[in-house]
């Protein structure tokens, strides 16, 4: 929702400022210029990207119009879940997690933390590495290397739609120039018209350059930056899980292992030690 509001702000600021200068908004309505810009950019976008890039881009765009799920509340739930899991391991052993891992949707450990259970990336990451810990065949260094490789692979795949949208934004000013040049060609072919008619044609041609730049830097480019940030948030949450589980594998108590993970969280979302402790106590009381 915030993205839509900001788009409206950008458009109102640009077109509103033009109108306040006694500009004629009707002169900016050039559907054929928009057709050349959007059509050319879309065609080039499809040519430049393979099926994987197109699929990832298409499925990434809806997430941009929703708020970030990686809030302080989610991190509180994540830390509480990891504390519960590690406490159960401490008391009952790793083998006690088999049922929880195999069917997390019905596990009491995961069900009481719905914010985490609703995140497929976190759930898959947590259950996969708990399963490796239960197997007992890998040491800490192997698990850490595997975690690093998985997070790196996620970031590499996540950058595919980011780069695709960014390149689309880079190309839109050029297509705006193409539309403007086509308008100039049309104007030069109409030199016999009166000055008022030629002025309208020149204005229409210049609108192409204007629209290409506005759409690129005002709208599309900002989406690629936001998408990059969203993927970094996912990686940060995975990093938090990684540090916590590795601390537990190295023999630290659940409370200390969770504190390791808490320190990885960004400052703006990181709960204080007292907040996290209070949250865990509330869950236990329930």
| Whole-number Å distance between alpha carbons of 196 and 134 | 80
Written as six digits, the tokens of 285 are 């009381």
Q: Please give the biggest Cα pair distance in the chain.
A: 91
Percent of the chain with pLDDT over 70: 96
Q: Give residue-wise pLDDT tens across range 122-158.
A: 999 999 998 888 887 778 888 899 999 999 999 999 9
The pair of three-digit structure tokens given for residue 249, joined into one six-digit string = 């594998």
pLDDT of res. 196? 67
- Convert the pLDDT of each residue in 233-265 to its tens digit: 999 999 999 999 999 888 888 888 999 999 999
Query: What's the confidence (pLDDT) of residue 284?
Result: 67
Confirm whether 147 is domain-assigned: yes
Report the pLDDT value the prediction gives residue 183, as an integer from 0 to 100. 79
Is 80 exceeded by the pLDDT of residue 106?
Answer: yes
**In this predicted model, what pLDDT tens digit does every residue of 123-132 receive, in sequence order?**
999 999 988 8
Cα angle vertex 131, ends 125, 134, to 5°?
140
In a domain, 37, yes or no: no
Residue 32 lies in a domain: no
53-102 pLDDT, tens digit each: 999 999 888 888 888 888 888 999 999 999 988 988 888 888 888 888 88
Query: How far is CA 270 from its chain centroid?
Result: 19
pLDDT, residue 202, reads 77
* Domain membership flag for residue 23: no
What is the number of domains present in the chain? 1
- The residue assigned the tokens 């995961």 is 110
User: What is d(CA 286, CA 128) in angstroms, rounded to the nearest whole number?
Assistant: 28
- Cα separation, 63 vs 48, whole angstroms: 23
The 10s digit of each residue's pLDDT in 16-57 is 888 888 777 777 888 888 888 888 889 999 999 999 999 999
Looking at the domain assignment, is residue 36 inside a domain? Answer: no
List the domain range (segments joined by +) for residue 147: 71-285
């Amino acid at each position: 929702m915030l993205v839509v509001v900001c788009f409206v702000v950008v458009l109102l600021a640009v077109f509103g400022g033009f109108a306040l200068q006694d500009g004629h908004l009707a002169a900016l309505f050039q559907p054929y210029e928009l057709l050349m810009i959007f059509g050319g950019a879309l065609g080039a976008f499809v040519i430049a990207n393979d099926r994987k890039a197109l699929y990832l881009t298409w499925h990434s765009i809806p997430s941009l119009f929703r708020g970030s799920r990686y809030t302080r509340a989610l991190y509180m739930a994540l830390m509480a879940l990891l504390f519960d899991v590690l406490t159960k391991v401490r008391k009952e052993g790793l083998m006690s997690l088999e049922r929880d891992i195999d069917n997390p949707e019905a596990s009491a450990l995961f069900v009481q933390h719905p914010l985490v259970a609703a995140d497929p990336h976190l759930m898959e990451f947590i259950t996969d590495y708990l399963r490796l810990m239960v197997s007992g065949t890998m040491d800490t260094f192997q698990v850490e290397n595997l975690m690093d490789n998985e997070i790196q692979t996620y970031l590499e795949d996540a950058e595919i739609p980011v780069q695709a949208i960014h390149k689309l934004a880079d190309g839109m000013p050029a297509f705006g120039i193409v539309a403007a040049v086509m308008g100039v060609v049309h104007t030069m072919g109409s030199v016999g018209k009166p000055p008022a008619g030629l002025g309208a044609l020149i204005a229409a041609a210049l609108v192409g350059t204007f629209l290409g730049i506005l759409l690129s830097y005002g709208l599309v480019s900002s989406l690629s930056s936001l998408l990059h940030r969203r993927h970094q948030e996912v990686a940060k949450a995975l990093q938090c899980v990684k540090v916590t589980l590795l601390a537990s594998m190295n023999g630290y108590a659940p409370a200390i292992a969770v504190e390791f993970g808490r320190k990885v969280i960004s400052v703006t979302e990181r709960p204080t030690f007292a907040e996290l402790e209070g949250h865990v106590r509330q869950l236990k009381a329930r």
